[in-house]
Amino acid sequence: MRGVLLLVLLTLTLIPSDPLTGEPPIQNRLDAQVSQDRLMETVRDLSRFHGRQSGTPGGEAAAAYLQRRLPQASLQSFPLRALQIRSPVKVSLTTGGHTKGLQNTSDFIPILNGATAHLASVPVAFAGYGIADSALGLDEYAGVSVSGKVVLFLRGQPKGYTGRGTHREKVRIARAKGAVAYLTVTGPLLTPYEQRRGMSQRPMAFYGEDPAEALPGLWVAPSVADALLEPIGLTLESFQKDMDRALSPRSVETGSVMALEMAQRQSNADAANVLGLWPGSDPDLRHETIILGAHYDHFGVQDGTVFPGADDNASGSAVLLEVARVLAAAEAKPKRSILFLALAAEEQGLLGSRFYVAHPARPLSATKAMINVDHAGVGTGKLTVGLSRLEKATAQAAADTVGLGGQLELFGFFPGGDHVPFAEAAIPTAAIVSSGPHPDFHHPTDTPEKISPDILASATRLTLSLVWALANAEL
């Protein structure tokens, strides 16, 4: 009922023009102030902060930069554990009698979990998707031993499996089975959700399991996995197709061996969400809040390699700052207050957003919506919006008002991102990302020159229109 009321009243709010003056609606006037040049300048600036890893000097410098540019800005600090992969990481595989050294970022990226490894000539076993769930009819460790070995498993799960094969559970199982390290890989058959989020098969930076439960791990390229599987007559694609046709264990010894030298350092540190407030103009509504959020952290410098994080998520942070700038310069003021929330430690498990929800600066009971913008700078030119407790027509109306209606792709709740803790607290949410492939996601090649100014500006215009609509509608 609440969503229907919102839709009706929002439709009345988004009239084509002022009936007395004939002027365009306020969203159009605000829309005209969005600057591609400023957006791209912000992306370039944030990409220079040594990867902006929370708990490091680069993360602190990024927070200070955001604080200088947000209204009534303050910091909300919280503790975390910072992880650093030291140089050099050395990996080699011996397959079919031939030894090859693997290259960081192209052949593999280490999993950030605090684990250190000194392994020489350790056998590699293939465990399919790494699932051991007899209750649901799939135990991929049946008939193969991984004790004292490196285990290779695919990310995700086969179509016929009705459980949920999480990364953390797979590592827990591998460790319980005696594995000394693991390799994980993305197969070529992606799920519709993975395709929608623009996931690729490239190895990516990733915070893995808790350090207390960690195994040394590498996210490897499909070429590495296929080289391991070739002597036993498998490819990732053939394996996935066979599993989708008939759910049964296909685990096997690969006959290959791996050597791995890797050191990770853990340290206690502090991170900070950056909060900026734009007070509402309506005495009866200013106590209510619309949150616009975007995480600003990324993966820092690992094994001597900088992860700039231009798309993820200097782009979303640029959207946040540009919306704040446009609203600060506008003559008209929103009825409700707008909280600009630049979030830390998203990559480490949504730590910043979870901390805010547990320690809100403004009451959650009066928080009417949370809009989250993440990796919004590359893709097909369309914009994907995932909604929870907000009507799709609400987002569509905001897009239509600024001429972006044809670029919108609307879906239900997205299970990943900083909007999730807010949705779990029963706050309406909208997650905005740019549609299509994000080939440099969580990779050192995520650099500013890969960002499309047009796509980034469209994401900003949609976000600004939706924020304004929600801040002024009769909710």
Per-residue pLDDT of the chain (475 residues; tens, 9 = 90+): 344 334 433 443 443 444 434 556 788 999 999 999 999 999 999 999 999 999 999 999 999 999 999 999 999 999 999 999 999 999 999 998 899 999 999 999 999 999 999 999 999 999 999 999 999 999 999 989 999 999 999 999 998 899 988 999 999 999 999 999 999 999 999 888 777 767 789 999 999 988 888 999 999 999 999 999 999 999 999 999 999 999 999 999 999 999 999 999 999 999 999 999 999 999 999 999 999 999 999 999 999 999 999 999 999 999 999 999 999 999 899 999 999 999 999 999 999 999 999 999 999 999 999 999 999 999 999 999 999 999 999 999 999 999 999 999 999 999 899 999 999 999 999 999 999 999 999 999 999 999 999 999 999 999 999 999 999 997 6
Cis peptide before 113 (omega within 30 of 0): no
Helix axes 315-329, 453-472, angle to 10 degrees: 50
Phi-psi region at 30: left, alpha or beta (left = phi > 0; alpha = psi -120 to 50): alpha
Helix axes 2-13, 453-472, angle to 10 degrees: 110
Main-chain dihedrals φ then ψ at residue 30, nearest 5 degrees: -65, -40
Own/partner pairs, 236-240, CB within 8 angstroms, 24+ separation: 236/154, 236/185, 236/187, 236/188, 237/187, 237/188, 237/189, 239/128, 239/154, 239/187, 240/154, 240/158, 240/187, 240/188, 240/189
Contact between 286 and 366 (Cβ < 8 Å): no
Nearest Cα to Cα of residue 434 among 467, 462, 415: 462
Contact between 116 and 293 (Cβ < 8 Å): no
pLDDT of amino acid 197: 67
The residue written with tokens 């949920």 in the block is: 164
Q: How far are the Cα atoms of 82, 369, 452 from residue 436, in angstroms, in the given order?
A: 32, 26, 13
Number of neighbours of residue 134 by Cβ within 10 angstroms: 8
Task: Please give the distance of CA 31 from its chain centroid, rounded to a whole number.
Answer: 27
Contact between 333 and 82 (Cβ < 8 Å): no
Q: How far are the Cα atoms of 181, 198, 327, 348 from residue 397, in angstroms, in the given order?
A: 51, 25, 20, 35
Domains annotated on the chain, with CATH: 2-82+267-472 (3.40.630.10), 87-262 (3.50.30.30)
Give the whole-angstrom CA distance, residue 54 versus residue 76: 13
State the DSSP string of 111-165. Answer: -BSS--EEEEEEEEEE-TT--EEGGGTEETTTT---TTSEEEEESS--TT--S--
Main-chain dihedrals φ then ψ at residue 360, nearest 5 degrees: -70, 140
Give the whole-angstrom CA distance, residue 92 versus residue 224: 11
Contact between 293 and 273 (Cβ < 8 Å): no
Q: Where are the beta strands (DSSP E) in 70-116?
A: 74-85, 90-95, 98-102, 108-110
Contact between 311 and 436 (Cβ < 8 Å): no
CA angle 16, 462, 324 (to 5 degrees): 105
